[in-house]
Amino acid sequence: MREDRDYSDIPGTYVFDPHHSMLGYHLNMFCMSLNEEANRDKFQADERAYLEGFSLTPAQQTAVLDRDWLGMLRLGGNIYYTFKIAAFDGLTMQQVGAAMSAVAAAEFQEMMVHGGRAIEGNRYQSEWDANG
């Protein structure tokens, strides 16, 4: 069981601390394997079979297959590693950011151009709980 940290109450924050690193080790090693063309070819040919070569949890496998970007981060993925899957799919960081924010890419771009998501109501998860 993981103890809460000072940053545990910040919404959408998946700090890549030692616990998270251990949790996502195999997921991140799979992502790193995509650096090699031969591995990308194997993954493209049969994603599920290729994932079987790594010790991913069932939830991690599902997150990869579903391209659940936030799910991968929650399950120990590091954005720099998981983005290799997005690059494999031909996606930009902006498109992935939009998917993680549940908005269209143009809306995400506009939000970033104007400084990102408003901090009001997004500073702590406990604010969400208090507001319903």
**What are 62-116's pLDDT values in tens digits?**
999 999 999 999 899 998 899 999 999 998 888 888 787 788 888 888 878 877 7
Distance CA 42, CA 22 (A): 26
Global pTM?
0.77
Q: Please, what are the domains in the chain?
A: 8-130 (1.10.700.10)
Of residues 39, 38, 42, 18, the one with CA closest to residue 29: 39
Distance CA 84, CA 64 (A): 11
Q: Are 9 and 125 in contact (CB under 8 A)?
A: yes
Of residues 63, 100, 78, the one with CA closest to residue 25: 78
